[in-house]
Structure 1
Amino acid sequence: MTLAIALAVEVLLIAMLAVSLRRRGRFVSRYPEFRRFYDYGLIAFAILTASKALFLLLDLRDYGSLELSPKQSSLLNSVGNSLLLLGLLMILVGWFRLLNVITERYEVVPVVEFEREENGEPLKPGLYLCNLSNCCTVLARLLRGRAGLIVSRNPPDVVRERLGIEKTPILWLTTIEDKNAVSPTRLEFLLQTLVNFMRKTEDPKVIFLDGVEYLMLENGFASVFKFLTTLKDYASLHNTVIVVPLTEEGMDERNLKLLQREFERLKGQA
């Protein structure tokens, strides 16, 4: 009975390893930030499978199905235990990696990079759609006198050069692993990051949220609409102007009308 259980465990480990290897590509494409955690798990499964195979040889010896010398048995036992410890270590490393990815927060410190220019009435807090030909020009004006945070589909270096900024924090909306990158599938994480930024100070702030169409593609319209309405409410509470560039061409007409009814359109003046 013990030998049968040992064989069943070995077969189960091999099956789990095979399925995990087969599903890796799909998992990583959907959750790129968890790639290392997944890979640590794969390595752990492979090591534990090898360890169990060695112990299975010892079980076969005990049942008289395999002849092993004392020296060979001792070696198999030592190697099996070493692999077992290594596999458990890989599980721990993967677990800590998972906790780090889930709990880490970007330190987005509100910084006023440009002094305010008195050029009309200030824009009231809230979320605004921007379909102007050049939203970057409007953003450059909004950054004067306001602490800014930019979420962009473009790499931070490109955004800094385009806007002439140095201190304003930038988050890169991408599936690429990078220090300042946020995966488009981590909508709740992005929401919490933006809310934390708004809560840091009650002084005027501006958030430029680029790539909404990309977020809709990855998460669906309903999830992104809820995400935007939540941001709008927090913006009103914490003296923040949120600018959302939006390309209306090609959007579903019903979805577009919902957005236009819920959010104001940004005028040409800030």
Structure 2
Amino acid sequence: MSAAARARLVQYNGGLYKTDTNPYGFDGADGGVTGFEQNLPQALNDIGEVAGEVAEAAGAVGLGIGYGWDAGTTDADPGAGKIGANAALGAATMLYASTVDGDGVDVSALLAAMDDSTSSVKAMLVLRHRTDSTKWAVLALTGAIVTATGYRKLPVTFVAGPGGFVAGDAMSAGWVRVGDRGDPGPGGAPGLMAAASNAETQAGTATDKAVTPASLSSRTATETRTGLVELATAAEALTGTDTQRAVTPAGAAAVAAKLENDAYFLACM
């Protein structure tokens, strides 16, 4: 932020306060040149400059956990209020994040929530420098967060960004959840379907009719059509004249026994 613009903004006034000594007033007591004409354009420029820089700084911070950057790459607690990686960000596979932020606030619950998604990619992590918008990185959280004393291990894959963080950089670590299906929407109204007639059930070609118990019972099996078939009794199997019933193993055994007996009788004659 421009120190000069900020200093001027706190001095501008539109009243008679110290009009004899204040060069930033709007009342005309500024060496013969009207204060309004001399100072208003500069005041507007100063307001725009400061407001723009405030907005840029706010955007750079974003929503997230405030950390300081740890330049070490060892799998260890990066220190209270710090975050680091196991390699340069472009090749990093793990981030090491303190369980307290830069203000000493416990953020372990926030870190734990990052991997709640059931998708293979749990979240997209965004690391941003607080005041330098040219330093940022996006990484994908690709697995479950590992708990360690004083810090958490976040398995990641680099996605994009110039990085450029150096030891001690004030930064923000934010994330956006990825995956998990949303709540189901309301179901549609139940539909209606016509019942198939006996003839339609026997034909077996309709695709837009529902078969009822009555029509199903009418679809009996024949030599040319699949369907329901009644089982023959042993007596009916022995008679051997029914063409509407199916022979069971027991019926077949009865027929075989009779044939065996008949053959024995004939042999004894």
TM over 0.5: no
Structure label with greater radius of gyration = 2
More contact order relative to length (CA 8 Å, sep ≥ 6): 1
Per the normalisation by structure 2, the TM-score is 0.29
